[in-house]
Structure 1
Amino acid sequence: MLPHRSHCLPLRSPLHQRGRALWWGLLLIVIALAAGGGWWWKQRNTAADGASVAAGAPAARAPGRFSAGGQVQPVSVGVVRRQDVRVMVQAIGTMSARATAVVRAKVGGELTALHFREGQQVKAGQLLAEIDPRSYQAALGQVQGSLQRDQALLRNAQLDLQRYKDLLAQDSIATQQVDTQAALVRQLEGTVAAGQAQVDAARLQLGYTRITAPIAGRLGLRQADRGNVVGPSDANGIVTINLVQPIDAAFAVPEAHLASITRRLAEGADLPVELWDREQKRRLARGRMSALDNAIDPTTGTIKVKASFANEDGGLFPNQFVNVRLQLDVLPNALTVPGTAVQNNYVYLVQPDGTVTQRRIRVGVADGDRVSVEGELNDGDQVVTDGIDRLREGAKVAVIDAGVAARADEAAQDAGARRAALLRSLTQAERDKLATMSPDERRAFLRARRQQAGGAAPPAAAASAASATVR
């Protein structure tokens, strides 16, 4: 007879039952931890939202790029508007003087006087320096004496020639004697002419002892001092003059713009040129294009251009690095948006219901901080300029003032500068004493010192930051 089936089942061992209980225990612990973590996260979000509302910020936290669209995103916006847009070509240029002259002594001698200041503006022909003239005055006197002697001999020979001609008319003298006297007169005339040339040369050498400015312009640094012996062979000369009013800028533009440039020049148009500083933040000068080179550089595919600037304030110097913007044309009444609103040929348009939608655009030329575009945009529309990376199609947005953050940051920097100045004014003993104070004592101490200095009492946050700096 077969045994009953229940008698065939193996009995569960105590060890097996203990493992099963341990597994259920671990599962319950995981469930409890998950529930506690969810409660903690909810409480954290609630506290963060409350702090944001107390600080004046929107209660909803900014979600990630792909977060739910029901939360409001704070953004800054710019206005779409129509305006004339300049077609600009940007290049890197170098300033060069319109003319440069190295002032050298034309005769050798000792410098006895300097009549200029370094960096001074001078006019053409202005006296700059003097060389000891005594040796040249003596040489002039010597040749003048020789000239006077030759002139006296010439006059005597001319009188004799006139007498000989009168005697010849009376047939009282030979013709040969008259001819000889005429030859002597011509010889002495040559001697007098040579003597006059020597006098002129000596007078010119004497004039060279007064060194004048060959051109108008700005003087450089002095290269010779009073008492130095100078001469025509000096490499550095006495001083250098640069004509910087007006001044030129040389730069190169790609040959692709050559057709537009030549067309505009053929029309007789003046091509405006602007100079900007190294950071492209400050405009240095405005001028116009003055010359175009006659050949393209085959190694770079560019052509050299020169522009002229009045430089009335003297702010431009030769060899100065500048960023150049050459205006080729003007697009009238073009649709423009802020440059920061464009991202991958898209802009986010703010709709009347407070949501955003993407609009595809075709980007044109940039003029300053605005860009000409073509697309489904209207004059007066608002496009997002800051916070684009947190948006997606249909996201709700809240427009904020773009200057609020900048003003808050500026105020924080000013407060930090005042705190740093206050701490620097403390002596070492006061700093050691401040380090041993409690936070309340530190705040009271710093407040008292600021009141003594005539400033306003620091807020609690500033005092806490100052005490943290001391620690």
Structure 2
Amino acid sequence: MSFKKLIFLALFSVILIGGSIWLWRAYEARNGVVADEADPAASHDADHKNGGKHGPASGRHRGDKPVPVLVTVVVKADVPIIHSALGTAIPSAVVTVTSRVNGQLIQVAFKEGELVKQGQLLAKIDPKPFETALAQIQGQAVRNQALLKNSQIDLERFKTLQSQDSIASQQVDSQASLVQQYQGTVQADHASVENARLQLGYTNIIAPVSGRIGLRQVDSGNNITTTNPIAVINAIHPIHVVFTLPEDKITQLVQQTHTPGSHHKFKVEAWDKANNTRLANGFLTSIDNQIDTTSGTLKLKAEFSNEDNRLFPNQFINVRLYSDTIRNASVIPVNALQHGPDGSFVYKIVRDEKGDKVILQPVTVGHTTGEIAAITNGLAVNDQVVSSGIDKLKQNAKVKIKNPANAFDDKDEPGAEKKSRRPHGAGSPDQTHKRRSDAPA
């Protein structure tokens, strides 16, 4: 290759590299990126020459831009301690309806799936064989009653003759024994008659308990025995819900329920599968006597009157057990609470001469329930914490509060509690709980 071509290629390369650098710097200036960001010292010298201000050539640091956030004010409130669990509705009693006598089923008097009352006629067995048996026993009883009466008359006659010394005493004693024999026979006949009437009464199959009856398992016209099930009744007034709680959450609960003289009933709410609608209110009735070692949980049972029939056997239920209340707790929305390697913390708003910024404030959490968290240490009433826009924050980051109506004004008195102005996402915990518990039932 000639010397001229080498010089030409060198000049072309220089022009190409220079043009690329120029285009890149123009792109940085247009998008607000600091051209000398890679050299902090150079950037500092340029700022110093410009009187401490960024000139147009150097741009603005994106880290100096305030991050828009929503804040909430720490308030005092009573926070209920709620244990959430998954449960299953079960009947308070399950009864399989069967016949108590053998015979032909001639009538099924219930509608499948309906609510039945205790004593209601469910089915009927052909009563004719039992009526015949009753009549036969009653006839035998009448005969034996007549024999008894006749033996009693003979006994009285024998006693009269004995007083006249006309017959032997042995004959009188024999007649007295015969009277007692007939008395026993009549008494047995009376029991046989009652048993026959009872068997006849069993031809009417009635509901032993109130509840919802299931599908019939035998049709009319079949000969059935005492082992043939006719249907199953689930007692649902009241209905029970069985659920489990981890063993580390029930120590205090067990102590409260087993305290001598304690009659406190813990409130329990049943919510639907989506956890959006409250179905029923009830109370805790019993706690199992041992922990399941495979899951580390303990079974509990709650009772619900279920007057509106909103709970159904084997229905999946979200359970909320109210065990206690934390009085006068410092409350924040649960979405303002963050978790790090050193524990829980929040981004607390502080002010200086340059504006608002945030600091990482460690906190001690007493309990979280629903949408709120009760803080026992680290925050005071009227402190402001970030509730939205947290993902862009770090220690000492500048912020711009987007909901100033919920923040404090400089005119406000120190320590004044802002109960009339609730921040975004927070409200009074009592109001928050009320909205959740007063959902349409």
**Would the TM-score normalized by the shorter structure come out above 0.5?**
yes
Per-residue deviation, residues 343-388 of structure 1 (Å, max 9, x unmatched): 2222223456454333222222111111112454333444333321
Contact 2:345–2:362 (Cα < 8 Å) also in 1? yes
Aligned match for 2:379, one of 371, 377, 397: 377
Which residue number corresponds to residue 163 of structure 2?
Answer: 169
Over 3 Å counting, the alpha-carbon distance change for 1:202 and 1:90 in structure 2 is same
Q: What CA deviation, in whole Å up to 9, does each residue of 1:292-337 have, x standing for no partner?
A: 2333344444333222122222111222232333222211010111
Rounded to whole Å, the distance in 2 between the matches of 1:174 and 1:19 is 167
219, 226, 247: which is aligned to 2:220?
Answer: 226
Which residue of the other structure, out of 234, 247, 256, is the alignment partner of 1:264? 256
Corresponding letter in the other structure for 1:107:
V
Looking at structure 1, the residues matched to 99 and 73 of structure 2 have their Cα atoms a distance apart, in angstroms, of 65
Is the 1:69–1:396 contact (alpha carbons within 8 Å) kept by the matching residues of 2?
no
Identity among equivalent positions (%) equals 41
Higher helix share goes to which structure? Answer: 1
Contact 1:356–1:395 (CA under 8 A) maintained in structure 2: yes
2:135 aligned residue:
141
Residue 388 in 1 paired to residue 390 in 2?
Answer: yes
State the partner residue of 2:245.
Answer: 253
Structure-to-structure mapping, 1:61-460, within 5 angstroms: 68-234=62-228, 237-265=229-257, 266=259, 267-344=262-339, 345-351=344-350, 353-392=355-394, 393-399=396-402
Deviation at 1:160, TM superposition (A): 1.1
Q: Which moved more, 1:279-288 or 1:366-375?
A: 279-288
TM-score in terms of structure 2 length? 0.75
RMSD of Structure 2 on Structure 1 (CA) = 2.7
Residues 70, 396 of structure 1: 8 Å contact kept: no
For 1:354 and 1:284, the matched residues in 2 are separated by 46
CA change 1:312–1:35 in 2 (3 A) is farther
Is the 1:72–1:398 Cα contact (8 Å) retained in structure 2? no
Aligned partners of 2:375, 2:300: CA distance in 1, in Å? 29
Structure 1 residues not aligned, in runs of 5+: 1-13, 46-66, 404-471
Structure 2: 5+ residue stretches without partners: 33-60, 404-422, 426-441
* Deviation, structure 1 residue 162: 1.2
Partner-residue secondary structure (3-state), 1:69 = helix
CA contact (8 A) 1:272 1:288 kept: yes
- Aligned partners of 2:398, 2:5: CA distance in 1, in Å? 55
The amino acid across from 1:137 in the alignment is E
| C-alpha contact 2:71 2:401 (8 A) present in aligned 1 | no
Q: Which moved more, 1:25-34 or 1:201-210?
A: 25-34
Supply the distance in 2 between the matched residues of 1:27 and 1:274 (Cα, whole angstroms): 78
**Which SS does the other structure have where 1:296 is aligned?**
coil
Q: 8 Å contact 1:113–1:226 — kept in the other structure? A: yes
The equivalent residue for 2:16 is: 29
Shift, 1:43, TM fit: 6.0
Quickly say closer, same or farther: Cα 1:28–1:119, change in 2 above 3 A.
Answer: same
Matched pairs, number: 368
The change in CA–CA distance for 1:40 and 1:300 in structure 2 (over 3 A counts) is closer
Question: How far apart, in 1, do the equivalents of 2:238 and 2:72 lie?
Answer: 40
* CA offsets 1:266-313 (integer angstroms, 9 cap, x no match): 143222222333343333332221112333344444333222122222
Corresponding residue for 2:50?
Answer: none
